[in-house]
């Protein structure tokens, strides 16, 4: 994990279709880009090495983890220059990029989105492979619109039906997090607006606990 006493910390940003979902005028990818830069700034201030991996459909970019002067500027340039057509991402391509880049144990903060247990399970095998060599954290986004539906007191049958569906989806998000953790993968369940704070807090917690 450490080189010259510094942890290697990578923001891993999914540029695929699952990140196109909008919240309050921004996509999940927009929120992830903003959060990854804020996260990397904290990493560098804590004297760790910050890096970046982005992945999509057979494409992506890499900024090797470093703590040199100007590293935050490199990350900023890379993040805000990202372009994507929101095609389906290829997790196997991500795995090959990580193997090629992170040659020592690193923290991988993976900004992605999982909407269902079945979708998560299709990705689980590759996440477990990564977790054998690295500390893996997966971001799971809450749907804040669903939270609003659950909080409402419906007056019509249609509203009751919609509230039930919303509660089911919200429960499935919690089940996704629980299953990831059962397989040794850390997970952050967060709303888009709280993403930066929640990822930084988990990073600091992992440092305090000596996980990294």
CA 170 vs. chain centroid, Å, equals 18
**Cβ neighbours of 33 (radius 10 Å):** 23
> What's the whole-number mean pLDDT along residues 22-45?
94
Question: Which has the higher per-residue pLDDT, 24 or 189?
Answer: 189
Instruction: Check residue 145 and give its pLDDT.
Output: 59
> What's the whole-number mean pLDDT along residues 185-197?
94
Instruction: Check residue 149 and give its pLDDT.
Output: 44
Cα 96 to Cα 64: distance, rounded to the nearest angstrom: 15
Backbone angles phi, psi at 83, to 5 degrees: -135, 140
Tell me the average pLDDT of the chain: 88
Q: Beta partners for 3?
A: 6
Confidence bin at 161 (pLDDT 50/70/90)? very low
- H or E stretch including 59? none
- Is residue 163 within 8 Å of residue 150, measured between CB atoms? yes
Structure tokens at 136: 């893996």
Q: State the alpha helices, DSSP H only, in 81-138.
A: 91-101, 117-133
> What's the whole-number mean pLDDT along residues 165-175?
73
Question: Which has the higher per-residue pLDDT, 23 or 205?
Answer: 205
Cα 22 to Cα 143: distance, rounded to the nearest angstrom: 10
């Amino acid at each position: 994990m450490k080189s010259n006493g510094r942890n290697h910390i990578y923001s891993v940003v999914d540029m695929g279709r699952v990140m196109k979902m909008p919240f309050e005028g921004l996509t999940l990818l927009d929120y992830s880009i903003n959060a990854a830069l804020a996260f990397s700034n904290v990493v560098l201030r804590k004297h760790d090495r910050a890096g970046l991996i982005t992945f999509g459909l057979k494409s992506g970019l890499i900024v090797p983890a470093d703590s040199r002067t100007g590293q935050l500027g490199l990350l900023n340039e890379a993040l805000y220059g990202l372009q994507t057509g929101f095609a389906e991402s290829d997790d196997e391509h991500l795995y090959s990029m990580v193997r090629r880049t992170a040659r020592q144990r690193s923290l991988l903060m993976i900004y992605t989105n999982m909407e269902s247990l079945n979708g998560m399970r299709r990705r689980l095998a590759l996440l477990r492979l990564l977790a054998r060599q690295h500390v893996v954290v997966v971001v799971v986004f809450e749907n804040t619109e669903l939270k609003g539906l659950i909080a409402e007191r419906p007056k019509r049958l249609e509203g009751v039906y919609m509230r039930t569906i919303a509660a089911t989806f919200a429960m499935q998000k919690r089940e996704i997090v629980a299953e990831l953790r059962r397989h040794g993968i850390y997970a952050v369940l967060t709303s888009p607006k709280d993403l930066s704070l929640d990822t930084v807090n988990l990073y600091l917690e992992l440092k305090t606990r000596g996980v990294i």
